[in-house]
Amino acid sequence: MNFRKLFAAPKGWGVGVLLGVGLGALLMLDIGAVFRLDKIGLGRLGGFGDRLGRRLQQLGYDLLFGPRPIKIPTEAIIVYLDEVSHRELKQPFDKAWDRSFHARLLDRLREDGAKAAVFDIVFADHFTNKVEDVEFARAIKEFGKAILAADWVREGEDQKAGEVTASGSTTILPQEVLLEHAAGVGTSETLPSPDLYVRQHFPGSPDALISSLSWTAAEFLGAEVTKHPELKFKQRWVNYYGPPLTLPRMSFHKAISTNAEERLKPGTFRDKIVFVGAGMITAFSGERKDEYRSPYALWTEGISGQKYYMPGVEIQATVTLNLMRGDWLTRVPYLTDLWMVLLAGLVFGFGLTKFRPVPATLIALASMAVIFFTEYYYFSHKLVWSAWFIIVGVQIPAATLWSIVFNSISLYVQGRLMEQSLSMYVSPQQVKKLKKNPAMLKPGAEKQQVSILFSDIANFTSMSEGMDSDQLADLMNNYFEISVGQCIHPARGTVVKFIGDAIFAIWNAPEPQGNHQELACQGGLLLRDTASKFTFGKSGRSVRTRIGLHCGVANVGNFGSSNRVDYTALGENINLASRMEGLNKYLGTDLLVTGDLYTGVQDKFVTRFCGRFQLKGFEKAVEVHELLGASDQAETSKAWREAYTEALKQYEKKDLEAAEAGFHCTLKLRPTDGPSQFFLKHLEELRSHPPDGEWTGVVELKEK
């Protein structure tokens, strides 16, 4: 693994890590307390951050209930003082019930063999010795398993007569005569959050005189956890078995009905824990009743838009069952949770910036799914939850968003740099196509037929003597700017590289070009004519550029090491194009093309056949043509071209006398004709050193 590459661009992953870890710390820590924001007048800001953090942590608990299958415990049943019972039993909605009805219920439970009766009703009114109160006290005594509720009022809340005060709170107990024979008493208080969700068990405050109703009931029923007093105040989370009204239930009036049609079968309450409490949908006198929200409200309210509350008695029953069954929920220890969140911020903040937007998004979604299902497994099977939603709902989305922004900017910058780099080698039209299809520049090479151009400045060494490096660099940059920008790129060529004063360019790669031979000729002519207008140095000498063109198959692609690659073309045909450029020096020409390229453009340009040459390093003879200009320029050179062609024919027939006369004739028509001068010198050499073997008319060059 290339660690230097992995940890490159710290501005990218550094911000990602800072964002991921920072958000995790902000949402997990009590920022207000850590930074003492209240001391500098920012207490409200810290409070908002802490509330938001707590809510996001709690979502790790709330969200996992929705997809979990509903469980219906059979150990308990709830008897509701609901609206139907109010009407059937003719009891007022704004006053306490006739307690003789509660007595009748206890008698029924005693007859059926119920395990216990837990009243989530505070019977705190003064004992008046009414018949119904005496009846209820008798029923409590005879049943012997009734657990009554007390009201625990925190400091500052309304208090009633009959109160018992402990440090910081007031406990309002049931009437003495009822309490005397009750199996236990516990406060009906719960621990609702500001949004009225009840998530945690309330075993009772350490400074309270009595335990909670659920703990008292579980203790009476012999729950294992209650046998260990040191575990009483351990943090426990409510394991709801389903949404409101999931636990087995019935209306109060049916539980005590004597009507033959409505009377319950004997044994209905056998071995059941019976919870008795209000089940009203609306409140008395506009006040909210003993109802709270459970985590299922997050799902049901989101779908229907209505608020669904769970009766307090059902929450008491759920908590009691949690204690009896030992299936309450536990949160991962806070420090473990904190380190998990911080580590996640580090991993995703760093890792996602290493991927481009689409892969980063897919990895983020996959990671979120893995985390969710892992948490769901532990929640459902191990009864453990953590603050995973901070990771899934905040850190990963934030890290993904940063990754998309950062990499999009990086890709844009890289694209611009690539565009600028490509514009130095290929035409603007090709740059656009290569941007749309970067695969054309993928590593590796393939065999491709290309048209190849090599150019060189004649007498460059002597022209550059005496020039300082800055002056030479400036002149060469101007020369290349003209050669590329005004010649090769307009002909849609790709500059492969600059070699000293030479230019190496190709056509038909990286973008396919059906007319690449014609384009190469156009580029060669532009370079020949435009470069001749460029003056070199203080001398003001015009630059003469020699150009060679060839067409053939080459290995084209990205070559290089693991750290640096170079887009180029390799092969024998590249060398042949270079030899063609060098042949200009011997023939006194500016632009030569091989027969392989000539066959594709012979009717589109003015050319002349210069002869067949065996170049150094090549076994086969090469047909060489001089590219003179566009087809509309044929007439101006027709006479001397025909004279040269006739002279060359005589040469190839080995009629050296006639050939010599023909070349002299050409020079009369065109005194500076380089090929004619070359062949006249060559004829002199042949006379002094006749060739061995069979005559072929091929000129063999001993030097490059």
Residue 107 has a pLDDT of 94
- Residue 158 clears pLDDT 50, i.e. is over it: no
User: Does residue 532 have a pLDDT over 80?
Assistant: no
> DSSP letter at 17?
H
What's the rounded mean pLDDT across residues 447-458? 94
Q: Is the pLDDT score of 287 beyond 80?
A: no
Please say if the pLDDT value at position 166 is more than 50. Answer: no
pTM assigned to the model? 0.64
- The residue ranking higher by pLDDT, 103 or 33, is 103
Tokens of 368: 């979120």
Comparison of pLDDT for 410 and 270, the residue scoring more: 270
Structure confidence at residue 210 (pLDDT): 86
- pLDDT exceeds 70 at position 8: no
Average pLDDT (612-623) is: 91
pLDDT at 281: 46
User: DSSP assignment of 88-123, as one string?
Assistant: HTT--SSSPPPTHHHHHHHHHHHHHT-SEEEE-S--
pLDDT at residue 434 in the model: 61
Please tell me which residue, 127 or 562, carries the higher pLDDT value. 562
Q: Please calculate the CA angle 544-545-547 and round it to the nearest 5 degrees.
A: 145
Percent of the chain at pLDDT > 90 equals 52
Q: What is the pLDDT of residue 553?
A: 95
Contacts of 457 (CB under 8 A, 6+ apart): 463, 479, 501, 502, 536, 543, 544, 545, 546
Tell me the CATH number for domain 429-602. Answer: 3.30.70.1230
- How wide is the angle at C-alpha 186 spanned by C-alphas 182 and 187, nearest 5°? 140
Domain boundaries, the chain: 3-62+333-410, 76-331, 429-602
pLDDT band (50, 70, 90) for residue 509: confident
- The answer to whether residues 697 and 652 touch, using CB atoms and an 8 Å cutoff, is yes
Say yes or no to pLDDT of 536 above 90. no
What would the mean pLDDT of 614-635 be, rounded to a whole number? 92
- The predicted pLDDT at position 602 comes to 87
Name the most confidently modeled range: 70-79, 476-485, 561-570.
70-79
Cβ-proximal residues to 509 (8 Å cutoff; 6+ apart), any chain = 448, 450, 494, 556, 569
pLDDT exceeds cutoff 80 at 211: yes
Distance CA 7, CA 351 (A): 10
Tokens of 132: 């119904």
Position 471 confidence tier, pLDDT thresholds 50, 70, 90: confident
Q: Is the pLDDT of residue 169 over 60?
A: yes
What is the model's pLDDT at position 131? 80
* pLDDT band at residue 184 using 50, 70 and 90 as cut-offs: very high
pLDDT at 10 over 70: no
Quote the tokens at residue 63.
């969200």
Percent pLDDT > 70 in the chain is 84
pLDDT at 216: 95
Residue 460, pLDDT score = 85
Q: For 326-371, how does the pLDDT look when each residue is reduced to its tens digit (9 = 90+)?
A: 999 999 999 999 999 999 999 999 988 888 889 999 999 999 999 9
Q: Where are the beta strands (DSSP E) in 62-187?
A: 76-81, 116-119, 146-154, 163-166, 169-172, 184-187
Q: Which residues contact 114 (CB under 8 A, 6 or more apart)?
A: 145, 269, 270, 271, 272, 273, 274
Rounded CA separation 534/523 (Å): 17
- Burial of residue 100, with CB atoms counted within 10 A of its CB: 0-12 exposed, 13-18 middle, 19 or more buried: middle
The reported pLDDT for the residue numbered 425 is 59
128 has pLDDT over 80: no
Of the given ranges (311-315, 542-546, 671-675), which has the lowest mean pLDDT? 542-546
Tokens 């006040």: give the residue: 287
Place of tokens 């037929």: 449
DSSP state letters, 467-494: --HHHHHHHHHHHHHHHIIIIITTTT-E
As a whole number, the mean pLDDT across the chain is 85
Among the ranges given (2-11, 324-333, 629-638), the one the predictor scored with the smallest mean pLDDT:
2-11
Residue 439 pLDDT > 60: no
